[in-house]
Amino acid sequence: MYYFRLNPPRADFAQTMTADEQRAMAEHQEYWQALLAEGRVAVYGPVADPEGVWGLGVLRARDRGEVLAIGERDPSVIAGVNTFDVFEIMGGTTG
């Protein structure tokens, strides 16, 4: 299991997205919905951090490289809107 953090370009991103950023985020949402439907994602969604909203995902993958590839194919990353970080969840379990 891997923890995926989607990093927006600014703290007020959720409130100030441009039209291009909104399109990229709509494509991002579709991309993650497909990953969820495939069973690759356990949970994902925006986090209401007082410092600024960011995205969280927990993915099932063979290795970190697979998750990095998923992140690199995210439409919002391809569009240059967001960046991301990936961390292994050591010994994670799900219900």
- Note the CATH architecture for domain 2-88: 2-Layer Sandwich (3.30)
pLDDT digits (tens, 9 = 90+) for 39-81: 999 999 999 999 999 999 999 999 999 999 999 999 999 999 9
Instruction: Please report the DSSP string for 29-41 in residue order.
Output: HHHHHHHHHTT-E
Domain spans of the chain, in order of start: 2-88
Residue 4 confidence (pLDDT) above 80:
yes
- The answer, yes or no, to whether residue 94 has pLDDT greater than 80, is no
Determine which helix (DSSP H) or strand (DSSP E) holds 88, and give its type and residue range.
Answer: strand 83-88
Mind giving me the DSSP string for 25-85? HHHHHHHHHHHHHTT-EEEEEEE--TT--EEEEEE--SSHHHHHHHHHT-HHHHTTS-EEE
Q: How far apart are CA 57 and CA 34, in angstroms?
A: 13
